[in-house]
Amino acid sequence: RDAVQVVHSNREAEELLEAMQAEEAVIGRFLHQHSVEATAFMIAAEEDDTAYPNSSLPYVMVLEPRGLGVARLGSLPSEERREGEVQGPAMGPSILLRRSRAAGGGTVVLGRWYQPPRWHEQPPERRYALFDADRIKSFVGTWRMPRVVELTGRVWRRVLQSPVRNQTLLFSDPDSPAHELRMAAFAAVAEEWFGKVLFLQISSNFTSVLKYFGLTVSDFPAVVVAVAGQEDTDKGEMYRLDQRLPQYNLTSIAMASSSSSSS
């Protein structure tokens, strides 16, 4: 199939996505197909591996000069829009990511608030370009992920492709004591650092990941902070937060947070 499906109205886009049974999608709304913004969108779709066949993430281009979108450009990242919540036209072209339920659901708009990693190092013509193809790919790669990613074989490739390279990893099995408390504390921190740090929950069956971080099942539960290196060949630095110390223990943090909020 083509990397981008072109339609001419919001209704056509909805009917197409319904026919495809697509839970998530990238929707670009433009005045015409050969605009600078539309061209960047098409390049991003073609270069994004998720736009290729057997992918669950379609890219849809809506060419409609009337009302463009369901949310305004430049909205803050905390202002995630539920589908159909905001009606009426948005100013200018827009790109929306419809998120899967696993990633939190709703619709997020690409606005000027979104700063891809190391974007400050780019030349001015790219740094201030809202619709640069790399910015679109980075935006999609970041916001497709939930706050905390429970690592499975199905999402492994997506994790490797994420533009967010700094990671915090919780090594804990779902059936272990106090796992839910640890996850609650982990998720609370992830909420604050979303888009800057990728938070991963790792089970003991991912032996290759354990080996990479020098851990064994006897080390569970464990928390590791991995800071990305400056270059692609630089593995960066890793810090293990000792769960025997109260200030680092996620269960203690969650219990303290719970008691303070209930008092």
The per-residue pLDDT for range 72-84, each reduced to its tens digit, is 433 444 444 444 4
> What pLDDT, in 10s, does the model give residues 187-226?
888 888 888 899 999 999 999 999 988 899 998 988 998 8
For residue 59, is pLDDT > 70?
yes
pLDDT band at 172 (very low <50, low <70, confident <90, very high): very high
Any idea which of 37-46, 126-135, 227-236 has the lowest mean pLDDT? 227-236
Q: Where are the domains of the chain?
A: 4-143, 148-262
The Cα 150–Cα 170 span in angstroms is 9
Q: Assign 5 to helix, strand or coil.
A: strand
The Cα 166–Cα 140 span in angstroms is 17
- What is the reported pLDDT for 191? 86
- Tell me if 4-143 shares its fold with 148-262: yes
Choice between 177 and 85, residue whose per-residue pLDDT is larger: 177
- CATH architecture, range 148-262: 3-Layer(aba) Sandwich (3.40)
Label residues 92-111 b or e (16+ Cβ within 10 Å = b). ebbbbbbbbeebeeebbbbb
Choice between 249 and 148, residue whose per-residue pLDDT is larger: 148
Please report how many Cα atoms fall inside a 13 Å half-sphere around the Cα of residue 255, on the Cβ side: 9
Q: What's the mean pLDDT in 159-166?
A: 85
* Nearest residue to 190 via CA among 228, 150, 220: 150
Q: What's the mean pLDDT in 175-190?
A: 88
Choice between 244 and 98, residue whose per-residue pLDDT is larger: 98
If one looks up domain 4-143 in CATH, what number appears?
A: 3.40.30.10
- What is the reported pLDDT for 44? 92
pLDDT band at 127 (very low <50, low <70, confident <90, very high): confident
- What is the reported pLDDT for 131? 87
Q: What percent of the chain has pLDDT over 90?
A: 26
The two structure tokens encoding residue 3: 């990397």
Q: What's the mean pLDDT in 21-30?
A: 91
Predicted TM-score (pTM) of this structure: 0.75
